[in-house]
A = this chain, B = another copy of it.
Amino acid sequence: MKGRKTNLEGANCGIARSLQIVGDWWTLLIVRDAFRGYQRFGEFQKNLGLAKNILSARLKKLVQEGIFTIEAHPDSPSSPRYVLTPKGEKLYTVLVALWQWGEENCFDLGELDTEMVDRIDGAPIRALQVKADDGRLLGPRDFRLASRPSPADA
């Protein structure tokens, strides 16, 4: 991420900014596991199978960025728990988008063995839809990235 920093530091668009934080190999998988209920270092490490030093670095960054907070649990005071902040929890839309795209485009038939379901009734979740302000459905070519008038305009 050497040149990346230089390039995207003053990134102009939200996509680039998001990717600065969650755009690497492991981060979104860590967040995914957090949604699954994992909280402890060892849980993430064992489940994802990534090197401990990398996990350590990622968690450190994610805490810095306000995605996780560290909470020391009364039960085992020496084992910190990594808990999603509201900012972190809002990433669920991104996860759902990735999940749906992956499920639709990246599996052979019968290969898929997990799915994201309604916690309450176990029913499937609707495909995300991009909609215009007035409710019209927008396809992949119906939007564009526009520059805002000027920084000092509003």
Question: CA A150 – CA B114 in complex, angstroms?
Answer: 9
Given contacts A14-B100, A94-B94, contact A146 B117 (CB under 8 A): yes
Interface code A121-154, partner B: CB below 8 Å = 1, 0 otherwise?
1111110111111110011111111111011101
Q: Is the interface of A mostly helix, strand, loop or mixed?
A: mixed
* Copy count, this protein chain: 2
Given contacts A15-B95, A116-B143, A123-B133, contact A110 B154 (CB under 8 A): yes
Stretch at the interface among A56-64, A73-81, A101-109: A101-109
Within the complex, the shortest CB–CB distance from A133 to chain B, in Å, comes to 4
Q: Are A14 and B89 in contact (CB under 8 A)?
A: no
Interface size of A by CB at 8 A reads 90
From the candidates B18, B90, B146, name the one contacting A116 in the complex (CB within 8 A).
B146
Q: Are B94 and A18 in contact (CB under 8 A)?
A: no
Task: Tell me which residues across on chain B come within 8 A of A144, comparing CB atoms.
Answer: 35-36, 116-117, 119
Q: Are B143 and A118 in contact (CB under 8 A)?
A: yes
Question: CA A152 – CA B112 in complex, angstroms?
Answer: 10
